[in-house]
Structure 1
């Protein structure tokens, strides 16, 4: 199944946002990717671009070496889904995370996420990735 040009643009927007905003935790780059009236569904971050930028600044201060390692990405119309591994510290097992972004007018307009702790020595030998 092939992607439409708009789907390709939506996917590129989100992947570029990971590279330029989320991995470096660079709140100053967020304006290029995220709508000012951004709708946030994560329960620990208030809706809107300004609260999201403040959250990025806090995370950057607390864990400046955090890594968001994208494992797979999917696009369906105006929605982009990213499955990735977050590690806040080099020796951290981290989380398996799935983010869903809705794109509108060339920017991220809405976001949902689901996070799962990575455990060592559990009953399932398969990786969450």
Structure 2
């Protein structure tokens, strides 16, 4: 409450622009652009859990500064907005498989099976479109000695042809949280948005709930 009151009293108003909204059971997950008291635009993913009375009971999020378009000209928030009325469990299954096999590295040889050739739209700020763009980015990171590690996926929320995977691991040896939103088309990963955030040291936490 103190944080909200502080924003309300700031000389510059906070702006909130919801880009995409989804629902999975008692949880709602959103992709949003914030500007907190004029401090600059940030792209965020928020997950809210609602109780039996329809009140917000729990909240998780990841935030990153809004960046310039990536090598393919895509931003962190543009791209497909339409949500298709398809089986969310099939979407969840594809994304869970990809996150485990590829991102957590449990079956990396299955990488190409998750893509329809090179048809893949990428919104990560540093990676170009296509499986080829992903491969080039990973190769460049390896040459720089930068490792991107996914250790554990805490939840995968799905709605229609979209699913959000919330994971933790490390980037360049620094503890990191990953929120990855995927759009699935015909059983393949077709589009991807993400927010990576450095995991703050526990000594700085305002509560003891943990990131996940």
Q: TM-score interval w.r.t. the shorter chain?
A: 0.7 to 0.9
Q: Are 2:153 and 1:55 aligned?
A: no
1:105 aligns with 2:183: no
Relative distance call for 1:25 and 1:49 in structure 2 (3 A) is farther
Aligned equivalent of 1:23: 104
Displacement of 1:23 in angstroms is 1.4
Query: In structure 2, what is the equivalent of residue 72 of structure 1?
Result: 155
| Matching residue of 2:122 | 40
TM superposition shift of 1:28 = 4.3
Hey, what does 2:38 align to over in structure 1? Answer: none
CA distance in 2: counterparts of 1:25 and 1:88, whole angstroms: 18
Structure with the larger helix share: 1
Q: What is the aligned residue count? A: 125
Q: Quote the residue 1:85 is aligned against.
A: 168
Q: Measure the CA separation in 2 of the matches of 1:42 and 1:85.
A: 17
User: Hey, what's the Cα distance between the residues in 2 that align with 1:27 and 1:60?
Assistant: 16
Cross-structure match for 1:8: 89
Runs of 5+ consecutive residues of structure 2 not aligned to the other structure: 1-24, 26-84
Answer yes or no: is the 8 Å Cα contact 1:33–1:108 preserved in 2: yes
Greater relative contact order: 1 or 2 (C-alpha under 8 angstroms, separation 6 or more)? Answer: 1
Question: Structure 2 vs 1, CA of residues 30 and 49 (structure 1 numbering), >3 Å: closer, same or farther?
Answer: same
State the 4+ residue runs in structure 1 displaced beyond 4 angstroms.
25-28, 57-61
Alignment CA distance shift 1:5-1:109 (3 Å): closer
Structure 1 or 2, whichever has the larger Rg, is: 2
| TM-score (normalizing by structure 1) | 0.80
Contact 2:101 2:108 in 1 (8 A): no
State the Cα RMSD in Å: 2.7
Pairwise CA distance, 1:95: 1.3
Structure 1 unaligned spans of 5+: none
